[in-house]
A and B are shown apart, each in its own frame.
Chain A
Amino acid sequence: MTEEELKQLKPAVTVDARGTYCPGPLMELIKEVRQQPVGSVIELISGDAGSAKDVPEWLNKVKQEFLGVIPGDGFWRIFAKKVKDM
């Protein structure tokens, strides 16, 4: 999705993981993808540059949808969609 399209999304949940080292952004995302219903959009705000790479990799591995990322000033807004039960 384009940045403009991502900005129009209304996430079911937004996890702001900036400044939180433990458990960390990807584990917060995994937790939310597991507990939200199918069809939910989940937004993760991460201050960890690695998240922009880790999150799509994991989503691909478990066959959930990576919608895109909006880079910010020292943080990344990452969007995922739960497309099937897990």
Chain B
Amino acid sequence: MSKRVVIVGGGVGGTIIANLLAKKMRPELKKGEVVIDVISDKPEHFYQPGLLYMLFGLKHHDELVRNEKDLLDPMVELHLHPAVKIDKDKNEVHLKNGVVMKYDILVLATGSRPAPDMIPGLKEGGNWFYELDACMKLRHELVNFKGGKIVLTIGLPHKCPVAPLEVSYMLDEWFRQRGIRDKVDYTYTYPIGRLHGLEPVANFAAKTFPKHGINTETLFNMKEVDVNKKTVTSLEGVSLKYDILITIPPHKGAQVIEDSGLGQNGFVPTDKFTLKMEGSNNIYVVGDTTNLPISKAGSTAHFESDVIVENIASELREGLTPFRYDGKVFCFIETGMTKATYIMFDYNTPPNPVAPSALIHWFKLTYNKVYWLTPMGIL
């Protein structure tokens, strides 16, 4: 009887795992000994980091989407019906169309999404660029902006922890190009007592923000937004006035995770080395879906996927799962419209940003074009 690997989620993590596993287990797939299924709630695969560029008119929607079906190995079965319940005791995933899929090994790759409604007034008063419609709305606000106060606020948890820095540097240069930088009062807030969670990145920001004219307010955790007064107030008791409020909203995981009792706010308790769901032997968790205190980023999902694929293949072939995730993360950081730096770190090695350069910026722009090779399991 064949072994069935079911992957819930067709984002970067779920798609890489499906494709790498299909390559690695080709003989078993051909003989029908292993079956790989991907469950996704939408037919398109969206390159989310592209939204940062779309905000400035540097990317178009068509450049950021592909059909998930076209990205998947032909031997992987795609089910375009949302998962509505996961029964870990019966090894079942229930789809919205009534189909119940049994699994031998389950991969949870359901991701995270902005949840601005977690902060009173934020959905109505805030603008964010982490989702397509919201990004386009903010783009229109910015293009029509003639000057005034912009405040950037950050909720917890959130994905892509360097994006708040990137958008700040890029907005500074973009307003300069438009000749209105002197009319823009820009304030970057951050939840803890420095400018970024990563200390070397915080130091980098502290050194570079003054020359970009970026004001800062640390220890600022949003409590509420008053849409009428146009103020955002923190738990720490500070109130800031804004003309445009840009926010990285707090995030939640997928509803199906919460509804199935697998994790608070949709994030699944996960072993930081094996990437198995705590208390489970046949459920792996990847990317934003874990509750691990590490960056929610595409690269995290990418590096975790390599480990999960090796362990699934090894388990199916030998009954062993010896591979361990070392916490590796890699992030480009745009430091304006023409230069970038990057950071790389793991559980044992702190990051150390290098001097920004045009070369790294061009590398990032190139990656934006060839990203599709990543979910395909080629890059």
Contacts and interface: CB of A to CB of B under 8 A. Distances in A.
A17 interface: yes
Interface stretch (A2-10, A25-33, A67-75): A25-33
Contacts of B264: 35
A20 B293 contact: yes
Interface string A9-48: 0000001110111111111101100110000000000000
B49 interface: no
A16 B221 CA distance: 22
A23 B219 contact: no
Contacts of B292: 20
A26 B197 CA distance: 9
A58 B294 CA distance: 21
B161 interface: yes
A1 interface: no
Query: Interface residue tally of chain B, by bracket?
Result: 20 to 34
Interface size bucket, A side?
A: 20 to 34
Interface in B263-277: 264-265, 272
Interface in B222-248: 223, 235-237
B348 interface: yes
Contact of A22 (B193, B219, B223, B329): B329
A26 B236 CA distance: 14
Interface of B: 156-157, 161, 191-193, 196-199, 201, 219, 221, 223, 235-237, 264-265, 272, 292-295, 327, 329, 345, 347-348, 350-351
15 contacts: A15-B293, A17-B293, A19-B347, A21-B197, A21-B199, A22-B294, A22-B295, A23-B156, A23-B293, A30-B191, A58-B192, A58-B219, A61-B236, A61-B237, A86-B235
